[in-house]
Amino acid sequence: MSVSGGRRSGVEVSSHGQKSSLCEDGLEIHQGGSLWARWMANRYLRRTNFWACRIDNNFSVTFKAILRCRPVHQTAICRYMKDGTTTDLWLDPWLGSRSLLELLGGQLDRETGMGLTCNRIIRDGVWRPEGYTYTAPLVEEIHLITIDASQTEDTWSWADPGTGGGSGLFCFRSCYNLVRTHHDQAEEVDFIWGKGVAQKMQLCAYRLLRGRLMTRDRLLRFGMQIPDAKCVLCNEDDESMGHLFFVCPVTWPIWTEQCAQLRGGVGMDRDIRSILSWIRDHRGRDPGWTRRARVRLAASVWHIWKEHNRRIFEGLTTPYWNST
Ligand SMILES: [Zn+2]
């Protein structure tokens, strides 16, 4: 499509290409680098937030199209927290790929109000969410986010959804793939966020699905100094999300046991999408079975991740089976 102001010439041939371009435009508006991006933000977002902005008939065709791409856009950008003064506490997706408002089920503490920024729960360069009751279900997740207190401005960057990391620069191919598979991903996300599961477990499973949990391979990729790259559970292979949850000899038996309990027989590959496909293929029309499958999936992810974190925080280095 052509874009207003002659900023980009040429015609994209597919709707996937159009959506990818619109996601790039959305990221540019967040980052505010170009004159066009600053003009758009100043014109449409002066009294609101990009995520909360309601589509108005008076908006330009381009801006309306950008806003309609927000669900795709949201899954592939991250907010790097520094001092928290420019990140909206409730509306910006700084905790994984969903806003605090969504993660807390749309419930907003009236006394807290809107328009607050994340520095409300950061003091002296450290997260201090404990005093705020609304963050209680998410305290552990919040503490896993690194704050760079030496810098001042929070920033947006592009995260390749396949790896959760990357250079931070927009990648058309990863966005194209994201748009192309968005329908399947939306179904997976809806399954994880269904009823009957504790919110902290849903959040953990969602972050695994999106490749956003901070395993040791990601910490190293982000340049953090860690003493060891080996899996904290088996101490045999390098730790990644794929290894920790689905290949590790400590955790894989958990999945085979869960599937056997649900409906005997296991023939899936070792990744979360295969497990979700297995559930979809076996659920039939029994909503009770689907709910049990959702609970088992989220609880398994949660307890593996909780044990992983416990062993790191307590400095345990022996393999799991030698220490329990
Ligand atoms: Zn392992």
Least confident interval from 88-92, 179-183, 207-211, 226-230: 179-183
- Residue that is last in its domain, among 134, 153, 172: 153
CA 77 to ligand 1 center in whole angstroms: 29
45 CA from centroid of ligand 1 (Å): 46
Is 209 a member of any domain? yes
Residue 179 in domain: no
**Ligand 1 centroid to 166 CA: how many Å?**
24
In eight-state DSSP terms, residue 122 is E
Q: Distance between CA 207 and CA 79 in Å, rounded?
A: 14
More confident residue, 109 or 81: 81
Average pLDDT over residues 128-140: 76
| Of 29, 55, 73, the domain-final residue | 73
Same-domain pairing of 39 and 142: no
Residue 68 sits in the same domain as residue 112:
no
C-alpha–C-alpha distance, residues 219 and 212, integer Å: 11
Structural domain count, the chain: 3
> Do the domain assignments include residue 56?
yes
Distance 319 CA to ligand 1 centre (A): 9
47 and 86 both lie in a single domain: no
- Distance (angstroms) between ligand 1 centre and the Cα of 321 equals 11
How far, in Å, from the CA of 232 to the mean position of ligand 1? Answer: 7
Q: How confident is the model at residue 141 (pLDDT cuts 50, 70, 90)?
A: confident
pLDDT at 243: 94
Its domain, for residue 94, covers: 79-153
Residues 310 and 191 in one domain: yes
Residue 171 lies in a domain: no
Query: Rounded CA gap, 40 and 5, in Å?
Result: 11
- Expressed in angstroms and rounded, the spacing between residue 320 Cα and the centre of ligand 1 is 9
Compute the distance between CA of residue 133 and CA of residue 272 in angstroms, rounded to an integer: 32
Highest mean pLDDT among 170-174, 248-252, 281-285, 317-321: 248-252
Asked if the model's pLDDT at residue 24 lies above 70, the reply is: yes
Which residue in 236, 235, 242 sits closest to 215, CA to CA?
242
More confident residue, 236 or 4: 236
Report the C-alpha gap between 319 and 263 in whole angstroms.
31
Q: Which tokens hold the place of 59?
A: 């908006």
200 Cα to the center of ligand 1, angstroms: 23
